[in-house]
Structure 1
Amino acid sequence: MPKLLLSSETDTLDLNEIMDKGLGYQAKTGVTGFGLPPVSVQWLEGAGDGATFRRRRVLTRDIDIPLEILARDRQHLQELTDRLALAVSERCTLTVLDDDGTRWTTDVYRTGGGEYAYGSDTTGEREFQTVITFRSPDPYWTSSEAQIRYIGGETAGAFLSNLVKVTVSASQAIGEIQLDNRGNADAYPIWEITGPGTKFLAVSPSGERLAWTGTLAANQRLIIDTRKGTVVDQAGDNRYAELEEAPRFWTVKPGLSTATAQLEDISTASKITCSWRPRKWMVV
């Protein structure tokens, strides 16, 4: 099975430590919850036969990790179990490491497990075995490696790689952005616009529009987080009201696609940054 890490705000447990070092923590055979997450499907039933599909909602993910601890002695075993208890006492992050170095993460909370049978799972000397159950509120795994595309900026030399520049006028530019989502679930782009500029527009490959009609002075920044549905400037002030009516916070579909972005009243310092993290339904 892949290498696993369990991280809290203050500590990281390597769940492949026994195999690598001979002592420590080890996730054992029987881990569950890494496959397709559960879904809730709603149907409309009429007077006739069968039903009509209405919508689907992906639910939270439950993960069971059989865990072994192997220590030098009784005191060391107590230290390792204390460390484990602290790590899972609050929100923590479960990480799966691919062979190519890519990390896929999901935030989890312990919902159960951690019990043991004295004399069977441990004698309190060197070994300890248990199963810990976690729940992830986000059913997807998110890549640690963000994909980033730029438009404009003095250091960028206008449009960078994977971008095609089309200059409409001296103060307006439109760029085609190649979107490469290597996951198998929709990813949420984050747009960061650096001024000066006005009237930012991002159009998805299917024609969905995300338009902002405000104004940025030189060195001012605007951040549009499509997952959170927030629009703030560099000071954290809310600029959501400056979006066009009925904005579409569109997502990056799996695979290759092309979107467009534009900004008006620009200078050589103006820049658009689009970034996203691929997501997966399941990891193996």
Structure 2
Amino acid sequence: MPIPAVKRLVDGSQPPPRPGPPQRVHWQHTYASITGSNGEGEEIPLTGYSGNRWPAIFMQDGATGLDTPPYELHADDSPNLDGGLFRGVRATQREIMIPVYIYGIDRRTLLEQKRELARALNPKNGYCVLKFTESDGQARYLNAYYKGGMEGNESSDQSGFRWIKYALLLTAYDPWFYSDEMRVAKWSFGQGVPFLGRPFLPLRLSEGYKSAVTLPVYNPGDVEAWPVWEISGPVKSFRITSQTGQKFGIPSATSGGDVIALGRTLRIDTRPGVKTLKDDRGTNYYPDMEADPKLWSIPSGDSTMTVDVVAGSGQATVTLTFKPRYDSY
């Protein structure tokens, strides 16, 4: 028969206290709202009340499509081997269904609520912004276009004299949620400043002096983020390289002058569907890029990048901005 053993400490000290049961954290219900006209319209609450707003539009149980987006897998089949060979994956557009209940204290207020919601959802006025806020106060935003659900059903279980139910159907072509947080890093040639909240060695450049510095980057999102760079002259040449070796930049001019003049700011927008390189006067710098440029994204988590710059006479600055992206609210 097994004999139970008691662990004794050699030095005679008392064993550490056993942890108690986990404490439940008070968590309020999720706040949800919808805003039309590319996010410029009036915010319509879908849960709870906003001030003295009554009657209200209620989001009911049964919403779908609000967690991880669908994925499309790509693979090659082999005639001689079992299965297939994985090639890649991409997130596809997100289909969303939100059941809502509209109640009015009389017929007139019901009709006003219906018209307000229909006006906000009209895709000819732009996309809608779905907002979800948990008890920790962090909001997440998803851009989606209305596609159906408000056609109406006058059956007795779907509508009445002062109420009606809809199942709103929306499509988010960009399937990722965004937050209010904007990650911004700025440093000046000649004075080091914190980079994305993490310090790095001071970067000091003089005229014609070339410096390649490896810098840490942290992306708190669930997936890669596409940054916007702003480079203010004077700069004779620059190159920015990712951790995986993807790079873009502008080489030195044959005349030996500045490729970004003093007082000019080049904005490099790497976001999909944008991909522009223009300064504050609208001049296009894309033809000046080095061969085969890659406007790369910042991966989730910790990574590094290398900034290689030849500064002109004066002080130049580089600013990096991006919004983290999340797979759910």
How far is the alpha carbon of 1:207 from its aligned partner?
Answer: 3.0
Aligned length: 279
Match of 1:255 in 2: 301
Match of 1:75 in 2: 108
TM-score (norm 2): 0.77
Residue 64 of structure 2 is aligned to residue 16 of structure 1? no
Structure 2 counterpart of 1:217, from 261, 264, 273: 261
Flag the structure with larger Rg.
2
Match of 1:237 in 2: 283
Question: SS of the counterpart of 2:251?
Answer: strand
Which blocks of at least 5 consecutive residues in structure 1 are unaligned?
none
Match of 1:43 in 2: 75
Alignment of 1:76-91 (within 5 A): 76-90=109-123, 91=127
CA distance in 2, matches of 1:32, 1:146: 28
How far is the alpha carbon of 1:85 from its aligned partner?
Answer: 0.4
CA distance in 2, matches of 1:99, 1:47: 53
How far is the alpha carbon of 1:175 from its aligned partner?
Answer: 4.6
Structure 1 counterpart of 2:159, from 94, 97, 122: 122
Kindly indicate whether the alpha-carbon contact (under 8 Å) linking 1:190 and 1:225 is maintained by their aligned counterparts in 2: yes
How far is the alpha carbon of 1:268 from its aligned partner?
Answer: 5.2
Q: Deviations over 1:77-112 (max 9, x none)?
A: 111110000000122221222434333222211122
Change (3 A) 1:17 1:269: farther
Identity of aligned residues (%): 25
Q: 1 or 2, which has the higher strand percentage?
A: 1
Which blocks of at least 5 consecutive residues in structure 2 are unaligned?
1-28, 253-258
CA distance in 2, matches of 1:138, 1:168: 40
Match of 2:188 in 1: 152
Residue 34 of structure 2 is aligned to residue 6 of structure 1? yes
Change (3 A) 1:117 1:18: farther
RMSD: 2.3
Residue 130 of structure 2 is aligned to residue 94 of structure 1? yes
Residue 135 of structure 2 is aligned to residue 104 of structure 1? no
Question: SS of the counterpart of 1:96?
Answer: strand
CA distance in 1, matches of 2:315, 2:43: 41
Change (3 A) 1:170 1:177: same
Match of 1:192 in 2: 230
CA distance in 1, matches of 2:154, 2:51: 27
Equivalent residue letter for 1:23:
P
How far is the alpha carbon of 1:163 from its aligned partner?
Answer: 4.3
Residue 76 of structure 2 is aligned to residue 30 of structure 1? no
CA distance in 1, matches of 2:249, 2:138: 33
How far is the alpha carbon of 1:267 from its aligned partner?
Answer: 5.1
